[in-house]
């Protein structure tokens, strides 16, 4: 399993939110490139970038994303946030991302997801953001009334690059991961699982690895120093 630092973008800065609430910003790094350089210095080579403004339709951090993906050859980026049409998927991939992460429209429009996945096989990751067991959309602000198991079943035939499952109820709270949820996803889906939400300790990472996760996205615990970045990189940087 690989550990993947999160670089969440808001108003041009790198931020960390508590519980997915835009009113509960706990960490802010004015220049996202400085965050990338920090994690790179510890040995990380894969990064998860999210445009929070685009996810809520409040703007775009496209310039900041390009600066990140263009920084150094050989790094791997998954990029998401407001990726809701085919042109945006193409732009993200041509801009240097290994995979484009699609959420809201992928959940709401299965025909579109099937089309874009077939056009870019292995390069589209679906974000399934979960509160309890319900998949939520539009920057975690709306419920879909769909259980995670039902959503996963619809994805099985598609040539996806993976599933990014975020336990929103754990996000940013430094209270540990939703291990039963991640075990269920890993055991029922053939796609790579990128687990997110609540990673706090090395034991959390080891448990996710044992559960079958391909990658773990880490945010708050790294930015606050709760997790020793060097120790994580030594064991899980890939």
As annotated, the active-site residues are 8, 129
Distance CA 49, CA 35 (A): 11
Q: Closest Cα to residue 6, out of 47, 37, 42, 53?
A: 47
Q: Closest Cα to residue 170, out of 69, 19, 66?
A: 19
CA-to-CA separations, 57 to 21, 63, 138, 165, in angstroms, rounded: 15, 16, 9, 22
Q: What count of residues does the chain have?
A: 238
Q: Are 113 and 102 in contact (CB under 8 A)?
A: yes
Distance CA 228, CA 18 (A): 20
Dihedral pair phi/psi, residue 149, rounded to 5°? -65, -40
Helix/strand/coil for 125: strand
CA angle 90, 131, 20 (to 5 degrees): 65
């Amino acid at each position: 399993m690989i550990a993947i630092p999160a670089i969440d973008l808001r108003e041009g800065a790198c931020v960390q939110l508590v519980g997915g609430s835009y009113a509960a910003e706990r960490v802010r790094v004015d220049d996202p490139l400085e965050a990338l350089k920090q994690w790179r210095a510890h040995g990380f080579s894969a990064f998860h970038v999210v445009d929070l403004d685009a996810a809520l339709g409040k703007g775009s951090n496209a310039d900041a994303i390009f600066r990140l993906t263009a920084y150094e050859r050989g790094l791997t980026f998954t990029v998401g946030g407001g990726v809701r049409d085919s042109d945006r998927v193409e732009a993200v991939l041509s801009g240097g991302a290994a995979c484009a992460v699609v959420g809201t429209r992928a959940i709401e429009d299965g025909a579109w997801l099937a089309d874009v996945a077939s056009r870019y096989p292995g390069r589209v990751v679906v974000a399934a953001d979960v509160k309890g067991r319900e998949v939520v959309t539009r920057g975690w602000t709306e419920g879909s009334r769909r259980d995670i198991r039902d959503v996963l079943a619809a994805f099985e035939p598609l040539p996806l690059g993976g599933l990014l499952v975020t336990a929103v109820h754990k996000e940013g709270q430094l209270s540990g991961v939703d291990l039963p949820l991640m075990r269920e996803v890993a055991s029922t889906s053939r796609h790579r699982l990128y687990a997110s939400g609540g990673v706090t300790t090395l034991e959390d990472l080891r448990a996710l690895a044992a559960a079958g996760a391909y990658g773990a996205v880490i945010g708050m615990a790294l930015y606050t120093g709760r997790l020793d970045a060097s120790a994580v990189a030594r064991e899980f940087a890939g």
